[in-house]
Amino acid sequence: MTARALNALILSVLTLLTGCSVFRSYDSELQATNQQLSAGNVDGALVLLEQNNSSQNKDLLYYLEKGELLRAKGDLAASQKAWRNADKLIYAWEESVRLDTARYLAQFSSFLVNDKVRRYEGHDYEKVWLSTQMALNLLNLNDFEGARTEIKKTHEREALITELRDKEYLKREQEAERRGVRARFKDLRGYPLESLDAPDVLELKNSYQSAFSHYLAGFVYEALGERSLAAPGYRKAAELRPNTPLIEQNLLNLDKPEARSDESEVLIVLQNGFAPARDSIRLPLPLTISNNLVITPLSFPVIRPYTPNTPLTHVVVNGQLHPLTLLNTTTTMSRRALRDELPWILLRSSARAVTRGVAQKQLNDDNPLAGLLLGVASTVLEDADTRTWRTLADNTYVVRLRLNRGEHQISLPDIPGSTPIRLRAERGYQVITIRTIGNRVFHHATAGSTTPVTPPLAFISRQKP
């Protein structure tokens, strides 16, 4: 390596040392934001989000988090606006992949310092969940046609991700061979691989296809009278979550008559808790640097579940108990995502460590002080990328009921002291979404659709401390 190249490397390291993206603790920021949301203080959570994102150039995570917070507040129009901005950023990512997949995959070699300096493009499951959440917003406003558009986008997004990941696997193998990096999972001594090899993680076909998203697609197509399209949605949901009676029954019911004019098919969607965080763990990894085996400490992300998530089991509608069906767990999807991403992370981290090790050896020979500086900088910069969509719910449950037109009362027995919710069924198909976090219940009200029995706030039902 030439002196000019070495100087450039040192300069880039020093520049990054002063960059906020490397030292920003997204986990700490969102812990504070989620604490406000857990306390029912949505406005406080929004204030924190804005304070932590003061730059004019907002990133994808900012819009993802803001959309979810505004949704909890009940401002669905503002929530959709924030999420449309997030969707534009994901669309730009999609276009870059479609136009030149090889160039996109070649970006591997440009990240020589730290994954945290990369532009955040979202994990695969987050990209798909965005369009699903946008569809839910529209369904809560009884806009089934708009929801249909978002569902179509979900299917297209899944297809693109599938094609990209197949090509990425080949690219990763080629890159590892070219760089001579042989590190494998088994080399990560002390890494909690068992959490990524858990049965529920391995049962997933991938990290981004959700049984709930496809079930929702079936429901929307059925509501629009497109039963030929509803059937594939239910079948895909059954494939992703086999042996689920609700899905199997809804598929069979497509051959039966629709609800009478005085009845309504009501889908109640309950989402609870928070998606898990990513933490950073530093482990010693054996690498060959300048023909010597060197034990190098490197940082890798690990999944840290949000432990206070309270499982939901039933809802009570008009005094009658109905079991809930779990169709999605974001914790499992995020673990599967990390399992699929880890080979790339391991390859990038190893390649960076080898590059830095070679540079430091040459610097030590030519300029010990510069070598010491690079060694200190490398240690400071060694941290895993822990960014992820934190306000997203963890579990998604559903219950589908055929109710007479008119008013009905919904209670949540798993949330003691929560305020009952009134539902007014007046359409052939309706969707109501409820979000619970600890003992807090968030739901929105649309004209003639849902209203709280005793609304202390327009859109938030709270348990008193």
What mean pLDDT comes out for the span 433-461? 57
Q: Is residue 100 part of a domain?
A: yes
Taking 50 as the threshold, does the pLDDT of residue 460 lie above it? Answer: no
Top-confidence residue, 143 or 165: 143
What mean pLDDT comes out for the span 154-170? 89
Long-range CB pairs of 186-193, under 8 A, 24+ apart, other chains included: 187/285, 187/286, 188/283, 188/285, 188/300, 188/346, 189/283, 189/284, 190/281, 190/283, 191/281, 191/283, 191/300, 191/302, 192/302
Q: Is residue 176 part of a domain?
A: yes
- Beta-carbon contacts of residue 354 (< 8 Å; ≥ 6 apart): 179, 181, 287, 288, 289
Task: Supply the pLDDT for residue 274.
Answer: 95
Of all residues in the chain, the percent with pLDDT exceeding 70 is: 79
Taking 50 as the threshold, does the pLDDT of residue 453 lie above it? Answer: no
What mean pLDDT comes out for the span 350-356? 74
Q: Which domain holds residue 281?
A: 19-346+379-462
Q: Is residue 212 part of a domain?
A: yes
Question: What is this structure's pTM?
Answer: 0.86
Domain tally for the chain? 1
Range with the poorest average pLDDT among 159-163, 255-259, 352-356, 378-382: 378-382
Task: Supply the pLDDT for residue 357.
Answer: 65
- Indicate if the alpha-carbon torsion angle 330, 331, 332, 337 is positive or negative: positive
Taking 60 as the threshold, does the pLDDT of residue 445 lie above it? Answer: no
Beta strand ranges found along 149-291 (DSSP E): 263-272, 277-289
Please tell me the number of Cα atoms within 13 Å of 62 on its side-chain side.
Answer: 16
DSSP, collapsed to helix, strand or coil, labels residue 320 as strand
Taking 80 as the threshold, does the pLDDT of residue 442 lie above it? Answer: yes
Give the Cα separation of 50 and 52 in Å (integer): 5
- Beta-carbon contacts of residue 37 (< 8 Å; ≥ 6 apart): 45, 69, 72, 391, 437
Q: Is residue 283 part of a domain?
A: yes
Confidence of residue 5 (pLDDT cuts 50, 70, 90): low
Q: Note the helical H segments in 100-226.
A: 101-105, 124-140, 144-179, 193-196, 199-202, 211-223
Q: Is residue 67 part of a domain?
A: yes
CATH of the domain at 431: 1.25.40.10
What mean pLDDT comes out for the span 378-393? 82
Contact 210, 129 (CB under 8 A): yes
Confidence of residue 299 (pLDDT cuts 50, 70, 90): confident
Q: Is residue 187 part of a domain?
A: yes
Give the Cα separation of 272 and 440 in Å (integer): 10
9, containing H or E segment: helix 3-17
Task: Supply the pLDDT for residue 282.
Answer: 86
Top-confidence residue, 103 or 72: 72
Task: Supply the pLDDT for residue 344.
Answer: 82
What mean pLDDT comes out for the span 7-14? 51
Confidence of residue 254 (pLDDT cuts 50, 70, 90): very high
Task: State the average pLDDT for the chain.
Answer: 83
Task: Supply the pLDDT for residue 329.
Answer: 95
**170-183 confidence digits (pLDDT tens):** 777 777 677 666 66
One-letter amino acid for residue 280 of the chain: S
Q: Note the helical H segments in 74-116.
A: 76-99, 101-105
Of all residues in the chain, the percent with pLDDT exceeding 90 is: 56
**128-145 confidence digits (pLDDT tens):** 999 999 999 999 999 999
Q: Is residue 135 part of a domain?
A: yes
Give the Cα separation of 184 and 436 in Å (integer): 40
Q: Is residue 270 part of a domain?
A: yes
What mean pLDDT comes out for the span 109-116? 59
